[in-house]
Structure 1
Amino acid sequence: MHVLKAGKSLAAVTVATVLANLMNKAHLHFSSSEQLVVDALRRSNKDLADMPLSEMGGYLRNMDDDSLRGLASNVKGIYHEFQFIRRENLDGDAVTARIFPETNHPGADVVLSRDGKDFAELQLKATDSSSLLVKHFEKYPDIPVAATDEVAKSIPGVKSSGFSDAELEGDVTSAFSSVSDQAHISQLQDATAISGLLAAAMNAGDVLSGKATTKQASKTTLKDMGVAVSSTFLVDLLFS
């Protein structure tokens, strides 16, 4: 059992968990939040829009680390949008929210409606960088922003999206304390391959046990030697 250390947002952990499960072709029955990540994954890339889950893991495994980080960052942003919309549409008030059909709508991610009439567009930011908010207002001064609590509090006029990194971090250990580290060394059927993979196995083992950093190994090394890609490894690889 490997408990994920506090300090990563639940959004990042959920994204990494889903990606790890897809890559390992495991646990393909998703929670409601994990299903939103899958939906975000499909929305993020046209190649994934209609791809069967059974093929999606192989697609992710074949991406290089930089491409996977870029995809994960995009997915995390879309996942934040989906979470915001779900919360807004279930809170019982007259306001509803929906995403734009296109993913690159200028300046805004979400449309707000009341009694069937659109009344506002909104940009959502899941970031700890206030500079991104400043850049948004320089380009789109009339489109409001809803951001995570910590960033929202640092910029006058920015609304909270209703999600706080601090609160999410507090949920991490309880939500994931029962999640076993999926990392394991697969059975090596070819005995002659063992000597060639031994050094790689030791290096990957150090990463997975916390003795080395993710910068000293890569997803590719783990994949090639037959080690399952763990959510704890991916969350550091993708979001550190």
Structure 2
Amino acid sequence: MEANTPARSAGGPAVPAVESVLGYTFRKPELLSEALTHASAVRRSTARHKGRRSNERLEFLGDRVLGLVVAHMLIEHFRADPEGTLALRQDGLVRRETLAGIARKLGVGGWLVVARSEEDGGGRDNPAILADTVEALIGAIYLDGGWQPAESFVRRHWQPLIANAGLPSRDPKTALQEWAQARSLERPAYLVVATDGPPHAPTFQVSVSLPGMPDVTASGSSKRAAEQAAASLMLERLSGMPS
């Protein structure tokens, strides 16, 4: 049996409430329904979900829209920043944890259409699922209303994050390389050990190695993100060691 959620039916009474929170009224409410449908619900061959499409395609689109709007906002706000610094700022603003935080503020977890097994496993508060759903909502708004409402949605929820953002932290890969160089060690070596997920949204697992240290493995939505995460974990390990 599937979990009941307030936005299961695109034409149900809960849709206006969801739209009120989003600040956007859909011309095609089926797009809202699709954006809130996790793949686990589609995999279940029940009559209720027959013909329903998961939000993966909208997530793919929303990720691109989000990236462009945030890049534009950063160019506007940090007029003196070079490209590398802007890229670091953007990485923090579009990372999974940031998206999941916005999803929780909106209450997205209560709107999701998920399989009972996914719900029982904590899927409604899973950071990956919440982040993907926010991207899908952005994609749905873009398809339904075009660029302006999608941009407005992103600006409304990301502007406080950009306005309050300090200088980005030093790149973990750079910091780790400098740590190794200062001790006359070989440069850190990175290796992709696994790739999971659908082709449009893969997850990479990358290990980093240093002479005399056990390898550290981390994951990310791109090779670069996974390398940065692995370097960060290695730095955490090294921080407790004597210089």
Answer yes or no: same fold by TM over 0.5. Answer: no
More relative contact order in 1 or in 2 (CA 8 Å, sep 6+)? 1
Relative to the length of structure 2, the TM-score reads: 0.26
Relative to the length of structure 1, the TM-score reads: 0.26
Structure with more helix by fraction: 2
